[in-house]
């Protein structure tokens, strides 16, 4: 497991423990004993004492924010115990980006966190000749025009792989591969949008953000601050608990239905920006995740523009 992945898992464990510590003194809280929990715990134990302390402080800051937003955490009424669970990575592939779930099974209430350690990436996806991103992202298959554009590029990458070529030994890899592949991807986004007006931008955001509402918890170690963003797309966050209501209102977000612009980031040969209405802008950087050339490239996706209604809080620690 890569170091960054280990640290991410460790921060998930810190967030789970923080929630448990805050809640278990006043109510019955049960942690689901799963393989995902054990992996996160082992990753946390692998980190040195300084890193563990930072993660705990960052997680506690997130818990303070979320307590102010979620009355059902502190006011269980008769809905006990509260179950805490770390999800398996496979749930992300199935459309659920939440790492931690808080569940009251008696009234079917749940709330989830997506935990990020010093980064704010949304999702990691791939392009390859065998991946129909239109079908897997939107439920609408890509056109033959798309495959006609990408197949010669991936055929060349397959030949380089068979010869054992390393990415670092390829001259002008952006001009040879990244730029034409991104151009083919952008062309297909436009084609799909033209053929299916008004639905592709929303489907793209739903694919990236998952099918469930969640709080995105981002710890910034250097600044000693934790950021919490409230992705309240389906209006399931910030619900009252009987007569107990949050003093802070978390608005429901509006999904986009138009692409304003799909183009390369200025002065970049590996990143595109997808600008939509209602305040959404998506950054997509393509790269190889391995040293050996292979006919597959990875996207690092982030949100560089979010709606003004996205509720965001920062908590120092």
Report how far residue 93's alpha carbon sits from residue 113's, in angstroms, rounded to the nearest whole number.
Answer: 16
Q: How many CA atoms lie within 13 A of 293 on its CB side?
A: 22
Q: Is residue 73 domain-shared with residue 193, that is, in the same domain?
A: no
Whether 104 and 191 share a structural domain? no
- Statement to judge: residues 66 and 82 lie in one domain: yes
Catalogue the E-assigned strands of 190-248: 214-220, 225-231
Mean pLDDT to the nearest integer, 149-156:
96
94 band by pLDDT with thresholds 50, 70 and 90: low
Question: For the residues 141-153, what does the mean pLDDT come to?
Answer: 97
| Most confident listed range (69-83, 121-135, 237-251, 256-270) | 256-270
Lowest mean pLDDT among 77-81, 152-156, 229-233: 77-81
Binned at pLDDT 50, 70 and 90, residue 1 comes out as low
Work out the pLDDT band at 200, boundaries 50, 70, 90: very high
C-alpha 47/C-alpha 43 separation (Å) is: 7
153 within 8 A of 101, measured Cβ to Cβ: no
What pLDDT was estimated at residue 289?
A: 77
Distance CA 19, CA 113 (A): 11
Same domain, 166 and 291: yes
Between helix 3-23 and helix 49-69 the angle, nearest 10°, is: 50
pTM above 0.95, yes or no: no
CA distance 107 to 148: 51
* Domain match, 7 and 150 both: no
Within 8 A by CB and 6+ apart from 203, the residues are 137, 138, 139, 140
| Contact predicate 286/302, CB 8 Å | no
Segments forming the whole domain that contains residue 159:
123-205+255-305
Domain count, the chain: 2
Indicate whether 45 and 172 sit together in one domain: no
My answer on whether 191 and 225 are in the same domain is: no
pLDDT of amino acid 67? 93
Same domain, 164 and 185: yes
Residue 92: per-residue pLDDT:
63
Shared domain for 162 and 186, answered yes or no, is yes
pLDDT in tens, 259-296: 999 999 999 999 999 999 999 999 999 998 788 999 99
| Predicted confidence (pLDDT) at residue 131 exceeds the cutoff of 80 | yes
With 80 as the cut, is the pLDDT of residue 80 above it?
A: no
Q: How far apart are CA 274 and CA 182, in angstroms?
A: 12
Residues 172, 292 within the same domain: yes
Mean of pLDDT values over 287-311: 92
Report the 10 Å Cβ neighbour count for 73: 21
Residues 205-257: pLDDT tens digits?
Answer: 999 999 899 999 999 999 999 999 999 999 999 988 777 788 889 999 999 99
Dihedral sign computed on CA atoms, order 72, 75, 79, 85:
positive
What confidence score (pLDDT) does residue 279 get? 96
The sign of the torsion formed by the CA atoms of 44, 100, 137, 261 equals: negative
Q: Are residues 190 and 51 in the same domain?
A: no
Please determine, for residue 93, whether its predicted confidence score (pLDDT) is greater than 80. Answer: no
206 vs 226: CA distance, rounded Å: 25
- What is the arithmetic mean of pLDDT over 26-38? 93
pLDDT class of 27 with cuts at 50, 70, 90: confident
Largest CA distance in the chain: 68
Sheet containing 225-231, strands listed edge to edge, beginning at the edge strand earlier in sequence? 29-31, 82-86, 100-104, 109-117, 214-220, 225-231, 311-316
**Looking at residues 18-24, what average pLDDT do you find?**
94
Same domain, 154 and 238: no
The bridge status of strand 297-305 relative to strand 123-127 is: antiparallel
């Amino acid at each position: 497991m890569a170091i960054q992945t280990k640290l991410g898992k460790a921060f998930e464990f810190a967030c789970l423990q923080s929630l448990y510590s805050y809640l278990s003194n006043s109510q019955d809280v049960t942690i689901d004993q799963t393989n995902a929990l054990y992996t996160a715990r082992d990753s946390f134990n692998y980190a040195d004492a300084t890193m563990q302390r930072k993660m705990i402080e960052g997680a506690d800051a997130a818990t303070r924010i979320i307590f102010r937003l979620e009355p059902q955490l502190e006011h269980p009424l008769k809905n006990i115990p509260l179950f805490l669970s770390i999800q398996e990575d496979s749930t992300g592939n199935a459309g659920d980006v939440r790492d931690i779930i808080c569940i009251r099974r008696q009234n079917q209430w749940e709330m989830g966190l997506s935990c990020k350690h010093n980064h704010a990436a949304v999702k990691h996806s791939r392009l390859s000749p065998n991946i129909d991103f239109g079908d897997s992202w939107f439920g609408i298959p890509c056109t033959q025009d798309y495959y006609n554009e990408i197949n010669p590029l991936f055929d060349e990458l397959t030949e380089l792989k068979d010869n054992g070529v390393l990415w670092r030994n390829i001259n002008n890899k952006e001009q040879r591969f990244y730029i034409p592949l991104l151009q083919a991807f952008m062309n297909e986004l436009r084609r799909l949008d033209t053929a299916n007006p008004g639905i592709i931008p929303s489907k793209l955001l739903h694919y990236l953000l998952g099918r469930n509402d969640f709080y995105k918890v981002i710890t910034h170690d250097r600044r000693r601050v934790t950021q919490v963003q409230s992705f309240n797309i389906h209006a399931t966050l910030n619900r009252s608990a009987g007569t107990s209501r949050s003093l802070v209102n978390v608005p429901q977000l509006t999904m986009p239905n138009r692409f304003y612009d799909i183009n390369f980031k200025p002065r970049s040969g590996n990143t595109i920006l997808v600008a939509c209405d209602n305040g959404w802008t998506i950054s997509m950087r393509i790269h190889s995740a391995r040293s050996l050339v292979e006919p597959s490239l990875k996207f690092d996706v982030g949100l560089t523009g979010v709606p003004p209604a996205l509720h965001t809080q920062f908590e120092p620690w």
